[in-house]
Structure 1
Amino acid sequence: MSKKTSISIEIERTVSWTKDLIQILLLAIILGVICGFIMVLFNYLLIFFQITFSLLPYFLAPILAGILTSLLVKFGNLEEILGTGSPEFIREVTSSEEENASKRISIVFGKTFATSWTYGSGMICGREGPGLLIGANLGALLSEKLGQDKEDASFIGASACTAAILKAPISGALFCAELPYNNHIRYKSLIPSIIAAIIGYIIFCLFFGFSPLIKTNLSSISPDKVNYISLLPFLIAFGVFVGIFILFLTYFLRGLTSILRNKLKKKPGLWILPLIGGCAYGLFLLLTIPIIKVGYRSELSHPDFNFISILTENLGLNLLTFLLILLLIITIAIILSIGTMNSAGIIMPLMFLGAILGGVFGVFFYPENPELFVLLGISAALGAATNNPIASIFIIIEMTWVPLLFIPAGVATIIAYITSGPNSIIPGQRNIEQI
């Protein structure tokens, strides 16, 4: 009798597990499709603002973007759209507080437009911020309709949007799973998140192509030309170098943001921060563009992922002095964009910074193949700054389609992550004491 009972219990558990699995996979498919098409529309919106702002003088475009964002925050009561979008995503998936549907929709539209014109204006700006908020809020809304767990649905939606806009399905899901924590990764919803991410990625690529996001000549990177054993000391040293740089940048950025918040929160209010940042960025471009090399002027006034390709292709022509100047310029650009809480994602700025750090290190210490360290720098800087080492290792592989980078990227990124310590450029990450 007891044997029958135990068998029946196992059957019931299996049926219940299968039912839950089907429901969560159905949610993943729905979110993957919806988020994929939403990111297609978002990318067209980015292109629209790029074309529109290109009609203005390059130094006026960031000022106009700052004005628009400040007005939207002030009169729309939308302080949530300030910053990278990552802290808001973390609050969304870790807070028990319920947001009403109308507020969610306002945040989604506000963040989408604010990041679109910030990106289009030429400020150094990642595109994943709206993806995180759009996907998370859409997932939360659907979870209410379908009776699913809100946290799971938020992770799944954010993964689909992030994977689509970055053209990186696996690392997009891993990025969202790692982002809320500084010592943990959320496995509970990872499988449906990856499924949604792949669907979103495929839909996005049907419109914008399946080519890798970073197009560069990687013929010098192969097992025949790179000895991983002799490379190991350089990878360790490079990881320490990147980790220390990111450590100081993190302290500076978070300190600057904290000072600005404390001084402006009551009067006149945080809404003025994007305007201050936009004006400072416009002045920065006005002073910088005329003295920078011709090949980098368009990338500095309208930065995109072609910057990494240009850097890699011209690395042999670049003197170490110029790379150091470029490092200073990009660092200042990140401080003026991210530090003043403009509606700007963090991934692309960190990738640029890591690429230049890799160029400096490669030209100085590994001149026979400096291009390798440009790519490794992307992964190392991203992993150290965001406490997302696993996603960062995968992201460089998915963005370049070069799996041979896995081992060197893994070593450099993990060393950089350890060296930079527990602090993150993204505030609000949680420390899980018991896993």
Structure 2
Amino acid sequence: MSFTRKCWFYLICLFAGLCTGAVGGYFQFFLHKADHLRMQLTTWAHSVSFWEGFGAVLAVCVACAVIGRFLVRFAPTAGGSGIQYVEAAWREEVEPARFKILLVKFFGGILTLGSGMALGREGPTVQMGASIGATIARILKFSKEELRFLTIASAGTGLGVAFSSPLGGAMFTFEEVTKDIRMNLVIPTLICVFAGCTVSMTILGMQPDYNVINRTFIIPGVKESVAFILFGIFIGVMGPLYNKMVLILLNTNAYFKKVIPEVKAGIIGIVVALLVYFAPGLAGGGDQLGTEMLNYTFPIATVLVIGLIRWFFAPLCYATGVPGGLFSPLLLMGGILGHVFAWTLNLIGFDLNPMAFCAVGMSAFFASTICAPITGVLLILEMTACWDLTLPMLIGSALAFFTAQALKSQPIYTALRLRIPEVKQMQQQGVDVLQPPAIPEKLS
């Protein structure tokens, strides 16, 4: 590629990043509005008779779930997280995202996440970013390599925008999607992420995603370091179990083939309505609850109940196939496990800070489920601004990743990618679909 062509390509990366930041920023803006409306609805529902109030909540939650699932009919690959399709497109197993995916993810995601389903916003923003990058590349008639690079850079930008985490978004591109770092991929990604996060932070503000009040933690001594080591191993066991739960519920949903998807989504909408009405704090992606756990110590009985409900509720929502991701719910689950672990060791003579283990648990659980430890550490450091916990996060995430690998646990997005029909067919033909894809040395 000539110098002039390279400059032109980088300029387009900047433009794609700006577009991804604007779309992702306003997607979150409307999600905040939807969350506020849901809380207002819940408050009103408790001010009137039970049947009138719960009936209204039930109607809204079921309608949002059904409509969200119906929209997926217009773009089947927009169901669920969508990150597995981004990875498959990079491997040239499926075609890159079309523009209609952006529309389905945007409006479907607002309905499903806004109604209180336990789903993450990162799946929609990553796939919307990929859709933007691929669409721009098609319009400008870019080469196949340029289209791949622009698509993947925009997808990483989507993650950075979702969590106000530019470093996490960039590293996600290298560590999780491409599983390689090359300068011809680094520069487009960094340009794209810079532009996208600048725009989204202009729309949403510069504050970290989790508003941690006390970000100063005591440097861990020998006793605390031992606890973090044990904690990393513990999370390395729990992560694969959580992945199993997601896959079991997906298989259960697929088993009932004769039931139309909208009906199945509506049934889960009833479960969502029960939580929204009786325990509104447990509904939704979990950002607010995660922030509270990073700031306050909860009674252990409360934490156990929350953990038990969320362990099943989040995978149940994901299994419906509506637009929505996995990151936010699994980060909350990691925080819950951190509280439980710290409380347990405190019973036998330790003096551990549950909030510190909550933050470390988020990064370690990310490492054990998604098998991207560096991304997990960067993501949580940027989301919490708890830089004092850098060392505990490093050892916790490393051991969680190592333990998950020792248990031969498949990363959740690899497991989801292997469920894609085109990938299944390639596997049946003897193609090694687990082999990391080659990155072109040069853009042509």
The TM-score by the shorter chain falls in which range? 0.7 to 0.9
2:7 to 16, 22, 27: 22
- Cα 1:409–1:190 change in 2 (3 A) is same
Say whether the 8 Å CA contact 1:69–1:275 is kept in structure 2: no
TM-score, reference length from structure 1:
0.83
> Are 1:130 and 2:124 matched, yes or no?
yes
Q: Does 1:276 align with 2:267?
A: yes
After superposition, residues 261-300 of structure 1 pair within 5 angstroms as 261-264=254-257, 267-283=258-274, 285=276, 289=278, 297-300=279-282
Q: Sort the Cα spacing of 1:216 and 1:105 in 2 relative to 1 into closer, same or farther, 3 A.
A: same
CA contact (8 A) 2:285 2:329 kept: no
Question: Residue 66 of structure 1 contacts residue 279 of structure 1 at CA under 8 Å; is this kept in 2?
Answer: no
Which residue type is aligned with residue 378 of structure 2?
Answer: F
Task: Tell me the equivalent position of 1:4.
Answer: none
**Aligned counterpart, 1:11:** none
Residue of structure 2 equivalent to 1:162: 159
Aligned ranges for residues 45-56 of structure 1 at < 5 Å? Answer: 45-53=30-38, 54-55=40-41
Aligned-partner residue type, residue 241 of structure 2? F
| Counterpart position of 1:6 | none
The CA deviation at 1:360 is: 0.8
Tell me the distance in 2 between the aligned counterparts of 1:179 and 1:274.
Answer: 29
1:288-342 CA distance string (max 9 Å, x none): x3xxxxxxx4422445422122123331xx2322221111011122122123333
The one-letter code sitting in structure 1 at the alignment partner of 2:333 is L
2:29 aligned with 1:44: yes
**Partner Cα distance (2:28, 2:242) in 1:** 29
Deviation at 1:227, TM superposition (A): 2.6
**C-alpha separation between the residues in 2 aligned to 1:55 and 1:49?**
10
- Tell me the amino acid that sits aligned with residue 321 of structure 2: M
1:92-111 Cα offsets, whole Å, 9 max, x none, are: 32225546xxx812221011
Which of 135, 139, 147 does residue 142 from structure 2 map onto?
Answer: 147
Aligned counterpart, 1:201? 197
The structure 2 residue matched to 1:212, chosen from 201, 208, 213, is: 208
Q: Single out whichever of 349-358 and 143-152 deviates more from structure 2.
A: 143-152
Of the three residues 370, 375, 399, the one matched with 1:415 is: 399
Aligned alpha-carbon RMSD (Å): 2.5
* 8 Å CA contact retained: 1:397, 1:403: yes
Distance 2:252 2:321 in 1: 12
Q: Percent identity?
A: 21
Note closer, same or farther for the CA distance 1:340–1:418 as it changes in structure 2 (3 Å cut): farther
The answer (yes or no) to whether the contact 1:378–1:396 under 8 Å persists in 2 is yes
Change (3 A) 1:140 1:186: farther
Gaps of 5+ in 1: 1-15, 290-296
Report Cα offsets for 1:245-295 as digits up to 9, x if no partner.
11112112212212322431xx34445442232233334555xx3xxxxxx
The one-character-per-residue Cα deviations of 1:23-75 (angstroms, maximum 9, x if unpaired) are 3321221111111111222123323433444436545443222111233234x
Q: How does 1:352-371 map to 2 (within 5 A)?
A: 352-365=332-345, 366-371=350-355
SS in 1 for 2:394: helix
Name the residue aligned to 1:425. 412
Q: What residue identity is the alignment partner of 1:242?
A: I
Q: Is the 8 A contact 1:157 1:193 kept in 2?
A: yes
Q: Aligned pair 1:311/2:310, yes or no?
A: no
The normalised TM-score by structure 2 is 0.82
Cα offsets for 1:110-140 (capped at 9, x unmatched): 1111111111101112111121111112111
Corresponding letter in the other structure for 2:417? G
Q: Does 2:381 match 1:387?
A: no
- Pick closer, same or farther for the CA change 1:434–1:346 going to 2, 3 Å: closer
Contact 1:90 1:180 in 2 (8 A): yes
Are 2:338 and 1:351 aligned?
no
Residue 326 (structure 2) pairs with residue 340 (structure 1): no
In structure 1, what is the equivalent of residue 63 of structure 2?
64
Residues matched between the structures, number: 397
Any unmatched runs of 5+ in structure 2?
43-55, 419-432, 439-444
User: For 2:41, what is the secondary structure of its paired residue?
Assistant: coil
Residue equivalent to 2:248: 255
Cα distance in 1 between the residues matched to 2:76 and 2:304: 36
Shift of 1:153: 0.7
In 2, are the aligned partners of 1:92 and 1:136 still within 8 Å (CA)? no
Q: Partner of 2:424 in structure 1?
A: none
How has the CA–CA distance of structure 1 residues 380 and 160 changed in structure 2, closer, same or farther, with 3 Å as cutoff?
Answer: same
Query: What displacement does 1:361 show?
Result: 1.0
* Distance in 2, Cα, partners of 1:96 & 1:268: 29
SS in 1 for 2:256: helix
